[in-house]
Amino acid sequence: MIQKERLQKDFDAMARLTGLGEGINRLAFTDADWEGRQYIIDRMTDAGLDVELDGFGNVIGYKVGTNPDLPVVMVGSHTDSVPNGGDYDGVAGVLSAIEVVRSIIDDGFEHDHTIAVVDFMCEESSRFGAATLGSKAMRGKLTLNDLHRLVDKQGISLYDALKERKLHPDDIESMAYNQPVKAFIEMHIEQGKVLEHEQKQIGIVSGIAAPERFYVTICGNADHSGATPMNLRHDALCGASKIILGIEEVTSMQEEPPVVGTVGIAEVVPGAMNVIPGSVKLGVDIRSISKVARDSVVFLIKELIEVIAEKRGLSYTIEPIAQDHPVAMHPAMIREIEEAVKSVGIDYMTMPSGAGHDAMHWTEVAPTGMIFIPCRDGISHNPAEFAAMNDIVVGAEVLENVIKNISLVSNTLD
């Protein structure tokens, strides 16, 4: 059975593996991230899993089934964090998956399919601007050009970060995971308030929204703040401010299906109080559960940028970062999770995920499902992020029941 004390010990240990700053700081490929990754490797090894590391740094632990030739049942999440993040985002899914395997071993449960527990590298977009990179690498969705194109704030490319960790970026285009996968499942904190508001312990995810991300660089003239009259200015920051507010307005107009838009980066150059801003770089994130609705909003936003730039005598460039596709969870996996929740005897609801997750990249190759557990006040990507251990245990119990059921050859997920 799932052991609460064992899980708590793992969470306490992971919370200590962080870089400097408030909350959790395990940005991808940093020393703290590598220490967290090693902790996961050690726990997998202690549990008797056969551990494999791919050329991108993804960690895969195998609990071999009675018929190793069958497709694997894959379960996992991530352990990297945003800056000043929380203890539970991603970590809850990885530690619970390991605990499920330990419980299966304790119970002497025999399963036909091999169970593969994965800690995906670089799920968060905080360092390189693009999310779920580890799962994209496993799915063969990254190119060598991507590795050189994606650069952090210090000017370090993803390619160089991989090299620094003695990984194999030059092999990225032949790195796809080539074993057949019967099913993929991920457990995660909700990162929202719905479950808590509805007083449900489990959310069964129906679909995952996906972002389109791009940088917009607005260029004007960096003139003297005192000597340049208002009517002769080409202030890049004023133009950028109009664009930011315009993005808020355009996304708010799309009510059903909803689209959300965020400008989370605004880099002003030269950044001096007595100089009119000459350029501003904005990081834009537009997402929805509907690709059609999202694409329509992105089109309107780009038209808006054109109009604002022309009116203010500014120029601009748009640099694409990522364009992921919203996905639906597989009906058979939704049913499996429903049956597992009922067997535990708790309240649940079906709901979409507004956040992207590693699970979204496995829907093309295998029936995929996601389990949500509540997080207090819906807070995530924040040091105040909190999930009750009782809720984590319940989530792990549901996860265990699903994995046990789908790891039997008799369950064909029809």
Tens digits of residue pLDDT in 131-146? 999 999 999 999 999 9
pLDDT tens sequence across 194-206: 999 999 999 999 9
Q: How far apart are CA 157 and CA 146, in angstroms?
A: 9
Mean pLDDT, range 390-394, rounded to an integer? 97
- The SS3 assignment for 389 reads helix
- The SS3 of residue 53 is strand
pLDDT confidence band for 255 (50 / 70 / 90): confident
DSSP per-residue letters across 37-51: HHHHHHHHHHTT-EE
Q: Tell me if residue 314 falls in helix, strand or coil.
A: coil
Q: Would you call 18 helix, strand, or coil by DSSP?
A: coil
Confidence of residue 147 (pLDDT cuts 50, 70, 90): very high
| pLDDT confidence bin for 188, thresholds 50/70/90 | very high
What average pLDDT does the segment 372-388 reach?
97
Q: Is the pLDDT of residue 19 over 90?
A: yes
What's the rounded mean pLDDT across residues 248-262? 94
Pinpoint the residues of the chain covered by CATH 3.30.70.360: 210-323
The residues, any chain, with a CB within 8 Å of residue 345's CB and separated by 6 or more, are none
Q: What are the φ and ψ backbone dihedral angles of 186, each rounded to 5 degrees?
A: -135, 135
Strands 259-269 and 327-328, sheet pairing: unpaired
Residues 210-323, CATH architecture: 2-Layer Sandwich (3.30)
- Environment class of 344 (CB within 10 Å of its CB; exposed 0-12, middle 13-18, buried 19+): middle
Angle at 114 between CA 29 and CA 110, to 5 degrees: 130
CATH level 3 topology of 4-209+326-406 = Aminopeptidase (3.40.630)
Q: How far is CA 278 from CA 20, 245, 316, in A?
A: 33, 20, 12
Closest listed residue to residue 372, CA positions, set 201, 119, 211? 201
pLDDT at residue 414, as a whole number: 83
Res. 184: pLDDT tops 90: yes
What pLDDT is attached to residue 322? Answer: 87
Confidence at 317, pLDDT banded by 50, 70, 90: very high
With residues binned 3-state (H G I as helix, E B as strand, rest as coil), the percentages for the chain, rounded to 5, are 40, 25, 40
* DSSP H helical ranges for 108-203: 133-138, 144-149, 158-164, 194-198
pLDDT at 382: 96
**Mean of the per-residue pLDDT values of the chain:** 97
Provide mean pLDDT across the span 89-102.
98
Whether the CB-CB separation of 285 and 302 falls below 8 Å is answered with no
> What is the Cα–Cα distance from 316 to 314, expressed in whole angstroms?
7
Contacts of 58 (CB under 8 A, 6+ apart): 118, 119, 120, 121, 134, 135, 137, 138
State if pTM tops 0.85.
yes
**Can you give the pLDDT at residue 146?**
96
Give the Cα separation of 369 and 332 in Å (integer): 9
Q: CATH 3.40.630.10 spans which residues of the chain?
A: 4-209+326-406
H-run or E-run covering 243: helix 236-253
